[in-house]
Homo-oligomer: A and B are copies of this chain.
Amino acid sequence: MKKLEAIIKPFKLNEVKQALHDIGVLGMTVTEVKGCGRQKGHTEIYRGSEYTVDFLPKVKIEMALPDHLVEQVVETIEKAAVTGKIGDGKIFIWTIDDAIRLRTGEHGDQAV
């Protein structure tokens, strides 16, 4: 089993979710995060105090997936999330030992 974590621009969340639903992937967990990278931040001024803000709002989508779905999911996210501008985000993938559905106690691929 794999864990896949995608960091995307917030306003792309709905599109990505819809695209994943369309290929039958329903389960995911989403977190509001702030990202720092090559994308330039901005300046805010409050009564003369200028702050450079490097952290930009991003959304993190986490999914546990059976191995065979990973490639398709990556492609789907790529298609839905890309704007072509800097700051589009990343996907990270790693292997997990197990997944458990709390309600039923099911393990592994059954659980996600």
Contacts and interface: CB of A to CB of B under 8 A. Distances in A.
A26 B31 contact: no
Contact of A91 (B37, B54, B81, B102): B102
Interface in A59-112: 60, 64, 74, 77-78, 81-103, 105, 111-112
Copies of chain A in the complex? 3
A36 interface: yes
Given A27-B36, A89-B102, 18 more contacts: A3-B92, A3-B94, A7-B29, A26-B36, A27-B38, A27-B90, A30-B33, A30-B34, A30-B55, A78-B100, A85-B103, A90-B112, A91-B100, A92-B99, A93-B100, A94-B95, A94-B97, A95-B97
